Structures are given as structure tokens and as C-alpha cells.
Amino acid sequence: MAPKQQCAKYEYVVTPTGSKILPVEEPTEPHSKDEESPADYNSGGYLQVQVNDTFKNGRYRVVRKLGWGHFSTVWLVKDTQTKCHSALKVVKSAGRYAETARDEIKLLSRVASVSPSHPGREHIVSFLDSFTHQGPEASHICIVFEPLGENLLALIERNKKKGVPRALVKIIARQALLGLQYLHDECDLVHTDIKPENILISIPDVEAHIQSELCQSPTPTSRRVGVPHPTKSRAGVTIPTAQRPRRQVQIFDSQPLSSPRSPSVGFGFNSSSSSLSSGFKSRLHSGVPSASSSYGASIPKVPSGLSIPLRLSTNAASSPSSLPTPTATSPELTGPTTSPTGCPQSPTPTKPGAQKIPTRPSLETELEQVEEFCGPPISIKIADLGNATPSKKHYTEDIQTRQYRAPEAIVGRKDWDTRADIWSIACVVFELLTAEYLFDPQSQGELFTKDDDHMAQIIELLGDFELEAKMGGKYSRDLFDHNGHLRYIKTLKPWPLKSVMMQKYLYSEADADALCDFLLPMLVPDFHKRARASDMIDHPWLTVTPADEVVGEW
């Protein structure tokens, strides 16, 4: 029997000489699913950027690709004026993307200038420059930012077996709340898209870190792929407009900046930012075993699935450490500083009087020195203000990524405010702790939609809530009947947050109570009764205690 041959692929093509059916030209090398699609390089899409390209009359020279998103590609560039590196965001050329970028530039300028001394300002990404670049086919808006490390999703992925250490989550949560307090109270802005991907890790002495990484990292790699022809839709059928040679595009592999690792004990910074002497750090490392961090094999992120029965996790929570750890306190801010390389840096949290550390014989006392003289082991910045909007004059009512979407956005209300972000940050904190979504709704064919399942999961976790909070939205009548009952999901399986933490994640009752006391005020379904950022920044749960895990390599 002859071997089965693969069927050829054909497409219906409209040409100047008439309609034809022609074989589909397969790309010689498929593009990586981890990079942008070649199809997005058609008219209105990305600008083709290559290493060593220059922007703004030669001021910015491209070093390597940092990443990409639906709206833009992002590149590490060297500023020939300041001799420092920056992150260059090159936006797609289509009008809707350019308009969003112009809005983002206005908001970034406003955020940078409103109240520079506010402690939350340091947790919002710094905007450095913007300009328009004329490409071969269209103009592209470009925005220059301070270079930052990886986002929190990467941190979650590295800790997907046990979740991010609780002590680290507390520090991240407080900094994020400080940043949101600045956006909400000082700038009157709602971010509208708080999620792990939009919270980035700041790098102390970033220029030295970049120089070190460029010396060690591999040369940027790329592949040439064919750009599919743009298509038109006619009566539900996709029809290529013409058959002509494919344009080739060079797609580079992303090389995001690695985040600096903290020492393998306590809360000290790495060598680039710590005030500890190398000898002092050496004694700490030799005297205390490092906290083990098991990253393990890659496994898919599993939603908490609160609307379906679940088997209990067999992994116990990390054992509390007996080592003392610092208490999270509000850091004092210094003015802009200059790195050893001469590049300007954003102010960094410091403690007064940290110029010299006396030698102490006791290990416990040395750990106290870490607490006294080292700041938090991580600093985060909220990024991507492209969807931010004034709290009362909304640019759009379609807000938030699904898993982090607040009830008022799900039902389609128009009177939402800054507290929509608070719901999202509570979902992010849960995800950091568990490496699982708090809510991950699924549709079930024609039986119910994701919105139906989302509201069902919220009610199962938090209990039923007032009719007034369910109504008043564009989709309220689609989700609820006149009594406030879900229209399409009749059987619910309540599983309160405290029980979830104890039964699935094996929290002690005391730890579960403490976490619920922090999260539940931010997860009140009626946003009028939900806590604000200013209400939560000094919550007791945010204080790092000796019962929290010692932060090791993260």
C-alpha cells in the first residue's frame, strides 16, 4: 500500500485577470508562536526593526529586542546623547493604535509631573521621550521608557509549584497599592488593565546590569519569514486580494532583561544595590542555608476552578522559617541619583544612615543589619498606561483582561471608578501566592457564556450580593433575572475564600484568616463598598513577619 500523501492546500484568489484557485505557498520556516505574527507586518501593522537601526536622527540605536505586544514591539536601545540604555516602544501604524499611543503619551506626561515626591510615583514606569518615526510605508509613534526587568508573570512561572514566597508577595502588593494610590488619588486615573504582565520588576543600577548582561548574553537571533498577503472577507469567506510574491520580514527573538537576583538569604539586594560589604555578605551566606527554590518542569497554569469540584492539592504550603525577617515599612525616597556609569537613575528607596555597617559577631544581629540597612529585595513598577482613563470621563467602557475583570465591568456598568483596579490587584495577589487564577471562567457551548460563568464563580467564592450591584449595566438583564438570580447557571457550589486557602492550599486557619482580612475588602462585588488603595496600604497583612518564608533566589 502506497504511503498516504499529504493533501495540498489551495486558496481562492481574485486577480486582475479573474478568479483563480491556486496552491497555497507554505512558508519555508514557520514563525515562532512566542513572537509576533508575520501577518501583523502588513499595512497598518508593525515596523520592521533590525539590530543597529537608528531612530530620531540617530539618537537611539537598536541593541536587541526586549519583547512585543498586540500594539507594538519593544527594543533595547542605546541613547547616544546620554550614553545610557532605554526601552523603545514602536507602535503599529494603524490609526487606532496611533491614537491610543498619543493618549498614552499625554497620560504619561501627566503622571510624571503631578506629584513627583509621592511615594507611589516610584512604582509607576518612567516616561523619557516620544517622537514619530517615518517608516517605508507609514509613520509610527515611538515612546521611550526606562528599561525594566521581566514582568510578574515570569516570576509566577518560575514559582508555579508553590507560588511566589509570601514575604515577596507582601512587598509587591504594598508597592502596587502605593502606585495605584498615586494614579487614583493624585492623577485621578484608572489603569483599567492591572495584571501580572503589566507589573514589571525594576532593576537597581540598571545601566551596570545591562552592560553586564550584554557581555554575557548571546548575539540576537532572528529568522526570515514570509508575510501572508492581506485578505478581505466576502460573505463570510476570506479571499486573498491578489497573488504576488511574498514580502519577507526578519523577526527577532525576544531577549527581555533578566531581573537581578536577591541573595540566597533574607531580604538583601544583590551586589549592585546592597550596602553590605562582600565579606559581610559572605559570612551571611556561609552561616545560613539558602532557601530552596524549586522551579521544576514546565506545567500549564491551572485556574482555581471555583465553579467545579476539585481534588485537594497534595503539596503542603512552604514551612515557615524561624529566621527573623524585616518588617515592611514605608521607605524614604531620595532624589534622582547617578549610577557609576554616569547615567541618571530614578530615586530608589533607601534608609538614612546606611553608609557604614559595623561588624557584629552574632548571626542574628547580622540578620538584623540586613533588615536595618537593606531595602526590599524587589521593586516593581506599574506599566502600560495605554488603556488608562480619567475616573469619571471614561475613554471606553470595555475594560480589564478577563481573569482580572471586576463585576461592574462584567455587567457593563458605566459608573465604575478607580476601585475597578483594586479588584484586579486582589486577583493578582492571589495569583502570586498560588500560581493559579482566582477566576478563570469558561463558556459551555450554547448553555452559558464566560460572563455567566464569571459571575457564578464570584458568587461561589464571595457569596451572593445586592440586586442593586447586579443591575444598571448593559448586560445585567442578559446575566440575571428580575430577582437577581443567574439566568443560565442554576446550580452553584459555594466555596468561600477561607475554605479554598485551607483546603486547597493547606493554609493554617490563622494564615487564611489574615489573608482573607486583606483580600476580601478589595473583592467586595459592589464597588461602592469596595476598599480603595489608600485604605489598604497600611493593612497588617502587608507586614512581613518571622512566619513568612525567607526570600531566596526569585
- Examine the domain organization and report whether 441 and 494 are in the same domain: yes
Residue 160 lies in a domain: yes
Task: Tell me the sheet residues that pair with 295.
Answer: none
Q: Which of 129, 146, 163 is the last residue of a domain?
A: 146
Residue 233 lies in a domain: no
Phi, psi of 142 (to 5 degrees): -120, 140
Q: E strands along 181-312, which residues?
A: 189-190, 199-201, 222-227, 231-234, 237-240, 247-252
Helices first, then strands: H and E counts in the chain:
14, 20
498: which 3 cell numbers? 477561607
Q: For residue 124, what is the DSSP state?
A: B
Q: Which of 146, 176, 205 is the last residue of a domain?
A: 146
Task: Tell me the sheet residues that pair with 77.
Answer: 62, 86
- Examine the domain organization and report whether 138 and 154 are in the same domain: no
Which one, of 521, 518, 524, 520, lies nearest residue 541 by Cα? 518
Q: For residue 438, what is the DSSP state?
A: S
Q: Say if residue 128's pLDDT is above 80.
A: yes
- Amino acid 288 reads V
490: which 3 cell numbers? 442554576
Residue 205's CATH number: 1.10.510.10
Q: Say if residue 330's pLDDT is above 90.
A: no
- Examine the domain organization and report whether 543 and 407 are in the same domain: yes
Q: Say if residue 509's pLDDT is above 50.
A: yes
Q: In whole angstroms, what is the distance from residue 83 CA to residue 346 CA?
A: 16
- Examine the domain organization and report whether 82 and 157 are in the same domain: no
- Examine the domain organization and report whether 390 and 512 are in the same domain: yes
Q: Which of 146, 165, 194 is the last residue of a domain?
A: 146
- Examine the domain organization and report whether 394 and 464 are in the same domain: yes
Average model confidence (pLDDT) across the chain: 79
Q: In whole angstroms, what is the distance from residue 370 CA to residue 268 CA?
A: 6
Distances (CA, A) of 233 to 24, 61, 166, 182, 292: 18, 40, 51, 46, 55
504 annotated as a binding-site residue: no
Residue 497 lies in a domain: yes
Residue 333 lies in a domain: no
Q: Which residues are catalytic?
A: 193
Which one, of 380, 401, 433, lies nearest residue 156 by Cα? 433
What is the arithmetic mean of pLDDT over 303-332?
37
What is the arithmetic mean of pLDDT over 52-57?
97
Count of domains for the chain? 2
Instruction: Residue 124: give the domain boundaries.
Output: 49-146
Per mean pLDDT, which range of 175-184, 314-323, 387-396 is the poorest?
314-323
Distances (CA, A) of 395 to 9, 383, 398, 413: 44, 18, 9, 14
The pLDDT confidence band at residue 420, using thresholds 50, 70 and 90, is very high
- Examine the domain organization and report whether 538 and 452 are in the same domain: yes
- Examine the domain organization and report whether 478 and 418 are in the same domain: yes
- Examine the domain organization and report whether 432 and 524 are in the same domain: yes
Name the packing angle between helices 419-434 and 166-181 (round to 10°). 170
- Examine the domain organization and report whether 164 and 61 are in the same domain: no
Which one, of 201, 200, 181, lies nearest residue 191 by Cα? 181
Pairing relationship of beta strands 231-234 and 237-240 according to DSSP bridges: antiparallel
Count of CA atoms in the C-beta half-sphere (13 A) of 431: 26
pLDDT at 475: 96
Q: Give me the DSSP letters along 78-98.
A: EETTTTEEEEEEEE--SHHHH
pTM: 0.73
Question: DSSP 3-state assignment of 319?
Answer: coil
Residue 77's CATH number: 3.30.200.20
Residue 312 lies in a domain: no
Residue 395 CB coordination number (10 Å): 16
Pairing relationship of beta strands 139-145 and 127-134 according to DSSP bridges: antiparallel
pLDDT tens-place string over residues 60-105 = 999 999 999 889 999 999 999 999 999 999 999 999 999 989 988 9
Residue 131 lies in a domain: yes
Percentage of the chain lying above the pLDDT 70 cut: 69
- Examine the domain organization and report whether 181 and 61 are in the same domain: no
Q: Say if residue 329's pLDDT is above 50.
A: no
